[in-house]
Amino acid sequence: MQEVGYSYLDELNEIQRNAVTALEGPVMVIAGPGSGKTRVLTYRIAHLIKSGVAPWQILALTFTNKAAREMKERIEKVVGSGANKVWAGTFHSLFARILRVEAHHLGYPNDFTIYDTDDSKSLIGTIIKSMSLDKKVYNINAIRSRISSSKSNLITPKNYVTNEDLMSYDRMNRRPMTHVIYEKYVKACERAGAMDFDDLLLQMFRLLYQNPNDVRKKYQYQFQYIMVDEFQDTNYLQYEIIKLLAIYPESNHNVCIVGDDAQSIYSFRGATIENILQFESDFPELQTFKLEQNYRSTNHIVAAANEVISYNKRQIQKKIWSDRTEGQKIKIIKTMTDNEEGRRVADSIIEQKNRYNLANHEIAILYRTNAQSRVFEEHLRRYNIPYRIYGGLSFYQRKEIKDVICYIRLTVNDRDDEALKRIINYPRRGIGNTTLEKIATLATDNDVAMWHVLTQMEYNARAKKTIGEFTKMIQGFKAKAQSLDAYETALHIVKRSGIIDLLKADTSPEGQARVDNVNALLDSIKEFVDNDVIEPGVEDDDKSLARFLQSISLMTDADQEQEGNDYVTLMSTHSAKGLEFRSVFVVGLEENLFPSYMSLSSPDQIDEERRLFYVAITRAEEYLTLSHANSRYQFGNMRFNDPSRFLDEISEENIDAISSIRKKASPFGEPKAAGGIRRLGPKPVHQPKIMVSAADFKASPAEEIKEGMDVLHLKFGNGKVIKVDERMVATIRFDQIVDTPEKRIMLKYAKLQILS
């Protein structure tokens, strides 16, 4: 085809221009972060149209409808209204369009129904009930996730039964009938003339694979040019469909993929990095263009990104570079606790806003898990810094958190009708809306709380026995609250109510995230109980559940949407892909957190965690801050964590200041032995040397602690009791803490071990 030069090509650098104008045959564009990937993709389509290709002969596959719309808008600016005729959209939307025409080849009606997530869950629930299976064991979300994963890997119900790995996994999870549910689900969808979201891909594959001489040839002829955005995020099934359209001899092999193997971070959704790594072997005549110039970030950030990703062995080699100024070096914040980490990050945000005139919306806090947002939300609120949770709810607005809080509220105050209504039938215990409405009416008519109706009044209800069990359970919680501290009571509530078992039964990534959130709430209550340092001017030693609820009431009240759009953004690192901010804080950089403890047994998973860190740091344009804490509450215990191995992979030349003992980490698994101290900035704050492990620590009775004694505190280390006042508040000097060595501690809650 004759190359045609147009003025829009002058907007591209040399490599971008070459990628845009290489129209024939297979092309792979490896696009580093901030390298102008979207511009190359859209200009390539525009160049095809300008060069005489009919718009309807171009298939452009994206991962979001928003990306497809923006692509068409950009193309239209170059070629005019013809852009609307390009087949641009998501895999699901475009394949659904084709299936509407061709579904009869598969035995489906052309006007088939598309089941959404709720439809699928409802059908699976019906099947589980019809088989008389325990719905707590056969959790609907977990089963749905299993079926979705099977379809994405081209595993039919017949293949599933013969796959010993799958069957063994199901037996291990006490769900040996999963394959039967899968088979019944598929048959039910076929009977209903319905496809779920995964079927839109699976049935598209079947359509092309089973009809090579008519349907497949038809679409190979129509789509003369195929382009795939974010190719590193494709799953096995999506790539198989692309190959059916583009790799076989009947095709002209005009396929262009755009992506970056270093940003492949969605394996938990089924995406596989293998697709982009093996693309060259599938298309030997491939032309490869590497977009390595980064237009987003300053040199120190780009250099750090190159250093980090170089530790991954399986990758397409490239080296991103920037011609921007060197800019600020990367700052590292080390703190003693995660609570201090939240405060220091908030302090740094205020400093950056004042020093560099940053707006709130130019700042982002990125964390590995959504449950980490709590401590940063609390400190941003205290400083009156507006923020928003991107891609999720504020911590205290998440359903599972509100459910647990309502159990706590009802335990503290049984007249709380709103809390009662929320949790009286959660988890389900057979108390329906009709019964609840009758109870509410009785309460209103007699001017009493609903709890009074439940426990004191006669009413006609089939669920009376179940209601009796519910009230007995809440009364048991009240009794526990009298004898246990807030954390122990809350832990008992979470277990006894059945909430945690219900959440754990959902083994999907979303289900696990909900379990993590509940654990984060419990950790915040444990921190509240263990916070034995009395702030100046505060003489409140109340560690009850009621006091905890009071402490978070302003947090939950502040969740109301504020006017304007100038917010600091809080989000998980996975959600940050494709975004950019002038200033980025990547927090919680500790072993077992980032990288995740679930990745430590597999080098491939460690590599993906490293790619996730690579994505995080390349979101920053000018200012990058990395933070980690020496200790944080996890699962109700104070855990002491090593700094993340990823911090060691950034050289001193790109770091402004660091004050921590850094440990070299092995490629995966446990870190290696400690290295030396590297310090480029001010004197470090030394951490206490813990003399015994947390498991061996034995707290001494509070009344035995006297002035002059040497004591040990798990958080602050060795100390000497300076004095003990009449209220049993001790002043203790911890010499290993440089900044504020003297702490005033309420001995009733101190948990100190007498040394001498």
629, β-bridge pairs: 335
Of 102, 196, 199, 230, the catalytic one is: 230
The answer to whether 38 is a known catalytic residue is: yes
* Rounded CA separation 81/342 (Å): 50
The answer to whether 229 is a known catalytic residue is: yes
Q: HSE (CB half, 13 Å, CA atoms) of 79?
A: 25
Q: Which helix (H) or strand (E) covers residue 547, if one does?
A: helix 545-557
Please name the residue that has the structure tokens 């359903």: 399
CA distances from 544 to 486, 533, 734, 745 (A): 5, 16, 28, 17
The answer to whether 409 is a known catalytic residue is: no
Torsion angle of alpha carbons 432, 437, 443, 446, nearest 10°?
A: -130
- C-alpha closest to that of 345 among 523, 584, 117, 543: 584
CA distances from 141 to 138, 216, 320, 499, 652 (A): 9, 35, 41, 15, 46
* Rounded CA separation 358/340 (Å): 23
Of 21, 38, 466, 605, the catalytic one is: 38
Of 62, 203, 238, 263, the catalytic one is: 263
235, β-bridge pairs: 271
Of 44, 398, 619, 645, the catalytic one is: 619
Q: Side by side, which strands form the sheet with 58-62?
A: 87-90, 58-62, 225-228, 255-259, 27-31, 287-291
Of 102, 198, 199, 229, the catalytic one is: 229
659 φ/ψ angles, rounded to the nearest 5 degrees: -135, 65
* Rounded CA separation 14/743 (Å): 63
**Who contacts 706 (Cβ-Cβ below 8 Å, separation ≥6)?**
721, 724
* Rounded CA separation 115/119 (Å): 5
* Rounded CA separation 716/733 (Å): 10
Of 16, 17, 37, 334, the catalytic one is: 37
**Who contacts 680 (Cβ-Cβ below 8 Å, separation ≥6)?**
652, 655, 656, 657, 658
* Rounded CA separation 23/46 (Å): 11
* Rounded CA separation 259/33 (Å): 10
439, β-bridge pairs: none
The answer to whether 263 is a known catalytic residue is: yes
Are 265 and 38 in contact by the 8 Å Cβ rule? The answer is no
- C-alpha closest to that of 258 among 43, 96, 66, 95: 43
Q: Is 189 buried (19+), middle (13-18) or exposed (0-12) by CB count in 10 A?
A: buried
- C-alpha closest to that of 754 among 708, 723, 685: 708
Are 42 and 71 in contact by the 8 Å Cβ rule? The answer is yes
The answer to whether 230 is a known catalytic residue is: yes
**Which residues carry out catalysis?**
37-38, 229-230, 263, 619
